[in-house]
């Protein structure tokens, strides 16, 4: 008992006080900034493993980018990854970062369904479905609820049953073998319900795009309420994105 | 010689691998090569070879630091006696060969689907109609769990046959995570695509699988990595071990409802993965390991930060570990729970931590050392009870050991040398790379064709061997102990399903 109390005392304060302004350590690859410098575009486009870069004018699609960092290493004056982790949005177009633009990625209020803030602003229960995820986004989603990020303080929690959930968080490129379980899980969630795609694999297939082992039909059927890019997602990206989605707007 | 003995990370012409008729091939691998405790099968697979199938079997000889490669070419339609009938360690490998090519084994004990790959031979078999083992009984009942589980983890289905609360039998059905990774290694032609694929085989082993891939590729291209590259790779592997082991200790505490341990280990993991982010921009080390170049050499500042991190980590880690492993309430749940005996472990051919907990001395760092491991003269941590407690203790000890290795390695930082130009893979070759990831032995094999293009890529995650050990471990345990058993193994679904 005393040992345990001593251990508690030794931990100090571990939680991050302000989720929206916290700084991430080191050289995190968050929102890229692309300069208008003239470079060999074709070569730059060719570097990218997931066709996330398009030319004329140059842009990076964060829904396809696996944040390998190689483009920025090859063309450091053209592309810089900033530590801005707030890159979640509900607008697929906003994930495409154009050259010469240095603006935050945010949500498009027009696209947020009304029932989301009226039902979920104080409490949101989510069911996670991993459909071919490599375990990394899953680990980061778990980290959202640890003592550091402590997402529970905002009333956002992961639950064990779809029947208790207000929405589904999908990770992974959606394998054919998981297509049916995903559908069954989604159908079991009571209305109204939301869909969040966590990680580049879920948003576009990532490095697995085009694999014959995938079945992404599910995504064509429903409106996606939030895209959270990353490989894996950063807990701060996820929490801030979800908060922006559910908090009441004036 | 009816096999070729090679070293870890060696490339040989495919023509130098002896091609035996099937019965001599069976005789050699089952009876001649697997004759000592240190011999085990690291990979056994088939691939299309003209209009037939070429089988390649790789048996590691731990005492001699060598791997024995042999082959046989078989007709797809010809029924064959199985290796598994004699040695169970081949069980999964042969099921995979059967599933991929329809090879009919006449005496295989358990010829069931492995992962329902998109290119399986029998398209009528699908994941919704897996043939579960059944018992007709009034007393017994079945419990099905998954594919989607209660927590945030990967999908897989567990089917228990129970007598009341007691588990008699567990069958694990996987495949839900199948993304076609091995085929993508052939389809995606850019080197960077393949590296990124390796990083995404299993997110908790990004360093492990990527080091396996880059070592293999560099060997195929006759590229000699400099010391700074090898240093980064060795540190990445050991740091990944520390991070995941710490996270697993947290998970094990969660599963026995020791909330304090769960929180403390959980938060101790954070600075370790944040260190990866400082080092390479990603908390799980994606982006760190590359073929033929070092994007993020360890600088003196980084090395110093790591020493400070360990100093802070160690204090709290030792304190909580002392408590966890002496608390009667946790010990009551850990000890004698989920036991795998040494005989069972040898029978199913477990690797890594899951072997060492049952006193099987299997550790690539010791038996087939690569990168800077030869200098570390690694001595594996062993236990002999094979229970949850052993799996926890090994983690604790291995974390201490890994911190020691990293401290030793960063004492003298090498200067960063400009790397040689990376050439192309040698045509018509076979290469093998073994890495001891935190979970155990990772094996990648590559085969190139006439113009140096990949014609086959084979990945084996340690989970491929170890899932069966987990199924055996829970027998006769209470079903309520299943979560702690599962967590204490922490096997990979995506690494298995590929
Ligand atoms: S960082 Fe993103 S955009 Fe740049 S090369 Fe890698 S995947 Fe492509």
Q: Whose CA is nearest to atom 8 of ligand 1?
A: A48
Quick check: is A227 in a domain? yes
Whether B220 and B448 have beta carbons less than 8 Å apart is answered as: yes
State how far the Cα of B235 lies from the Cα of B56, in Å rounded to an integer. 32
Q: Tell me what pLDDT residue B147 has.
A: 93
What's the total number of domains in chain A? 2
Asked if A154 and A237 sit in the same domain, the reply is yes
Task: Give ∠ CA B336-B337-B341 in degrees, rounded to 5.
Answer: 70
Q: Residue A248 — pLDDT band, cuts 50, 70, 90?
A: low
Instruction: Pick the residue from chain A with its C-alpha nearest to B250.
Output: A146
CATH number (domain holding residue A129): 3.40.50.12280
- Averaged pLDDT score across all residues of chain A: 90
The residue count of chain A comes to 250
Instruction: Pick the residue from chain B with its C-alpha nearest to A3.
Output: B323
CATH number 3.30.460.80 is the correct assignment for the domain at B4-114? yes
State how far the Cα of A4 lies from the Cα of B327, in Å rounded to an integer. 10
Q: Who among B201, B277, B323 is closest to A7 (CB)?
A: B323
Quick check: is A103 in a domain? no
Q: What is the percent of chain B where pLDDT is above 90?
A: 85
Taking contacts as CB-CB distances below 8 angstroms, the residues of chain B near A165 are none
Q: Residue B187 — pLDDT band, cuts 50, 70, 90?
A: very high
Instruction: Pick the residue from chain B with its C-alpha nearest to A2.
Output: B323
Instruction: Pick the residue from chain B with its C-alpha nearest to A126.
Output: B152
Q: What is the percent of chain B where pLDDT is above 70?
A: 100
pLDDT at B175 over 60: yes
Residues lining ligand 1, CB < 6 A? A 47-50, 52-53, 60, 65-71
Per-residue model confidence as pLDDT tens digits over A135-187: 999 999 998 988 788 899 898 999 999 999 999 999 999 999 999 999 999 99
Asked if A81 and A127 sit in the same domain, the reply is no
Taking the centre of ligand 1 as the mean of its atom positions, its distance from the CA of residue B498, in whole angstroms, is 23
Asked if A32 and A127 sit in the same domain, the reply is no
The predicted model scores a pTM of 0.94
Asked if A41 and A67 sit in the same domain, the reply is yes
Domain end marker among A98, A123, A145: A98
Asked if A117 and A237 sit in the same domain, the reply is yes
Q: What is the mean pLDDT of residues B321-340?
A: 92
B341 to chain A nearest CA, in Å?
29
Quick check: is A92 in a domain? yes
- Is the preceding peptide bond at A57 cis, omega within 30 degrees of 0? yes
Class of domain B181-489: mainly alpha
Per-residue model confidence as pLDDT tens digits over B130-171: 988 988 888 899 889 989 998 899 999 999 999 999 999 999
Domain end marker among A35, A63, A98: A98
State how far the Cα of A101 lies from the Cα of A114, in Å rounded to an integer. 30
Taking the centre of ligand 1 as the mean of its atom positions, its distance from the CA of residue A41, in whole angstroms, is 14
Q: Tell me what pLDDT residue B420 has.
A: 79
Whether B254 and B277 have beta carbons less than 8 Å apart is answered as: no
pLDDT at A200 over 90: yes
pLDDT at A249 over 60: no
**Whole domain around residue A50: which residue ranges?**
2-98
CATH number (domain holding residue A11): 3.30.70.3270
Taking contacts as CB-CB distances below 8 angstroms, the residues of chain B near A76 are none
Q: Residue A1 — pLDDT band, cuts 50, 70, 90?
A: low
> Hunting for tokens 């396996």 — which residue is that?
B212
For a mutational test of ligand 1's pocket, the pick from A29, A30, A44, A49, i.e. the residue with the most ligand atoms closer than 8 A to its C-beta, is A49
Domain end marker among A75, A98, A121: A98
Taking the centre of ligand 1 as the mean of its atom positions, its distance from the CA of residue A61, in whole angstroms, is 9
Question: Which is it for the CA torsion A14, A15, A17, A23, positive or negative?
Answer: positive
Per-residue model confidence as pLDDT tens digits over A42-88: 999 999 999 999 988 899 999 999 999 999 999 999 999 999 999 99
Q: Residue A109 — pLDDT band, cuts 50, 70, 90?
A: confident
Asked if A52 and A166 sit in the same domain, the reply is no
Number of H helices, E strands in chain A: 9, 10
Whether B253 and B316 have beta carbons less than 8 Å apart is answered as: no
Q: Tell me what pLDDT residue A250 has.
A: 40
* Residue contact B155–A178, C-beta within 8 A: yes
Residue extents of the structural domains in chain B: 4-114, 181-489
Q: Tell me what pLDDT residue B35 has.
A: 82
Element (H, E) at A227: strand A226-228
Taking the centre of ligand 1 as the mean of its atom positions, its distance from the CA of residue A65, in whole angstroms, is 5
Task: Please list the alpha-helical segments (H only) found in chain A.
Answer: 2-11, 41-47, 70-74, 114-120, 136-144, 176-188, 200-204, 217-221, 235-246
Per-residue model confidence as pLDDT tens digits over B346-399: 999 999 999 999 999 999 999 999 999 999 999 999 999 999 999 999 999 999
Q: What is the mean pLDDT of residues A3-24?
A: 78
Q: What is the mean pLDDT of residues B248-261?
A: 92
Q: Who among A141, A177, A210 is closest to B175 (CB)?
A: A177
Asked if A84 and A147 sit in the same domain, the reply is no
Q: Whose CA is nearest to atom 4 of ligand 1?
A: A71
């Amino acid at each position: 008992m005393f040992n345990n109390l001593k251990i508690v005392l030794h931990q100090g304060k571990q939680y991050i006080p302000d989720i929206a302004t916290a700084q991430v350590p080191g050289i995190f690859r968050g929102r890229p900034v692309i300069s208008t410098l003239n470079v060999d575009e074709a070569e730059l486009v060719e570097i990218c493993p997931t066709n996330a870069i398009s030319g004329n004018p140059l842009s990076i699609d964060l829904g396809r980018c696996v944040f390998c960092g190689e483009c920025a290493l090859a063309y450091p004056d053209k592309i810089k990854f900033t530590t801005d982790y707030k890159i979640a949005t509900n607008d697929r177009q906003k994930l495409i970062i154009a050259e010469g633009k240095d603006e935050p990625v945010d949500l498009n209020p027009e696209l947020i369904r009304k029932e989301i803030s009226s039902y979920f602003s104080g409490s949101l229960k989510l069911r996670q479905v991993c459909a071919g995820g490599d375990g990394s986004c899953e680990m980061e989603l778990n980290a959202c609820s640890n003592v550091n990020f402590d997402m529970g303080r905002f009333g956002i929690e992961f639950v064990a049953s779809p029947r208790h959930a207000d929405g589904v968080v999908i990770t992974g490129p959606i394998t054919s073998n998981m297509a049916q379980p995903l559908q069954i899980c989604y159908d079991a969630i009571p209305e109204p319900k939301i869909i969040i795609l966590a990680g580049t694999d879920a948003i576009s297939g990532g490095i697995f795009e085009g694999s014959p082992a995938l079945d992404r039909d599910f995504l064509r059927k429903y409106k996606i309420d939030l895209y959270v890019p990353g490989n894996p997602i950063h807990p701060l990206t996820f929490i801030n994105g979800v908060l922006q989605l559910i908090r009441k707007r004036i | 010689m009816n096999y070729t003995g090679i070293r870890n990370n060696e490339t040989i012409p495919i023509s130098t691998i002896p091609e035996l008729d099937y019965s001599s091939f069976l005789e050699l691998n089952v009876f001649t090569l697997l004759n000592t405790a240190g011999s085990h099968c690291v990979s056994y697979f088939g691939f299309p070879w003209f209009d037939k199938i070429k089988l390649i079997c790789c048996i590691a000889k731990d005492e001699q630091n060598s791997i024995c490669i042999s082959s046989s070419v078989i007709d797809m339609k010809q029924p064959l006696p199985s290796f598994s009938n004699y040695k169970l360690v081949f069980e999964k490998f042969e099921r995979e060969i059967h599933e991929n090519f329809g090879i009919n084994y006449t005496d295989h004990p358990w010829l069931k689907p492995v992962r329902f790959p998109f290119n399986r031979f029998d398209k009528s078999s699908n994941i919704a109609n897996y043939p579960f083992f059944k018992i007709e009984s009034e007393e017994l009942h079945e419990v099905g769990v998954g594919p989607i589980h209660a927590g945030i983890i990967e999908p897989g289905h567990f089917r228990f046959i129970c007598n009341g609360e007691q588990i008699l039998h567990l069958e694990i059905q996987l495949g839900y995570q199948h993304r076609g990774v091995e085929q993508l290694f052939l389809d995606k032609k850019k080197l960077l695509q393949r590296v990124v694929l390796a990083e995404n085989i299993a997110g908790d082993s990004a360093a492990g699988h990527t080091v396996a891939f880059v070592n293999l590729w560099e060997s195929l291209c006759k590229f000699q990595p400099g010391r700074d590259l090898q240093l980064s790779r060795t540190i990445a592997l050991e740091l990944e071990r520390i991070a995941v082991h710490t996270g697993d200790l947290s998970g094990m505490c969660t599963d026995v409802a020791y909330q304090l341990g769960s929180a403390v280990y959980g938060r101790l993991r954070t600075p370790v993965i944040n260190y990866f982010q400082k080092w390479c921009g990603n908390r799980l080390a994606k982006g760190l390991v590359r073929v033929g170049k070092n994007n993020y050499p360890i600088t003196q500042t980084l090395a110093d930060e790591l020493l400070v991190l360990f100093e802070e980590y160690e204090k709290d880690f030792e304190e909580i570990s002392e408590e966890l492993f002496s608390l009667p309430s946790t010990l009551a749940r850990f000890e004698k729970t989920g036991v795998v005996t040494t005989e069972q472990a040898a029978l199913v051919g477990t690797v890594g931590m899951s072997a060492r907990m049952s006193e099987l001395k299997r550790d690539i760092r010791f038996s087939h050392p690569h990168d800077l491991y030869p200098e570390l003269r690694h001595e594996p941590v062993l236990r002999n009870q094979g229970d949850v407690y052993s799996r926890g203790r090994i983690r604790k000890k291995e974390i201490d050991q890994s911190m020691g290795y990293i401290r030793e390695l960063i004492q003298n930082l090498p200067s960063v040398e400009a790397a040689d130009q990376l050439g192309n893979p040698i045509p018509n070759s076979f290469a093998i790379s073994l890495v001891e990831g935190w979970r155990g032995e990772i094996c990648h094999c590559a085969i190139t064709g006439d113009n140096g293009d990949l014609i086959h890529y084979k990945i084996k995650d340690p989970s491929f061997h170890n899932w069966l050990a987990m199924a055996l471990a829970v027998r006769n345990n209470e079903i309520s102990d299943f979560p702690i058993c599962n967590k204490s193994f922490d096997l990979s679904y995506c690494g298995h399903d590929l």
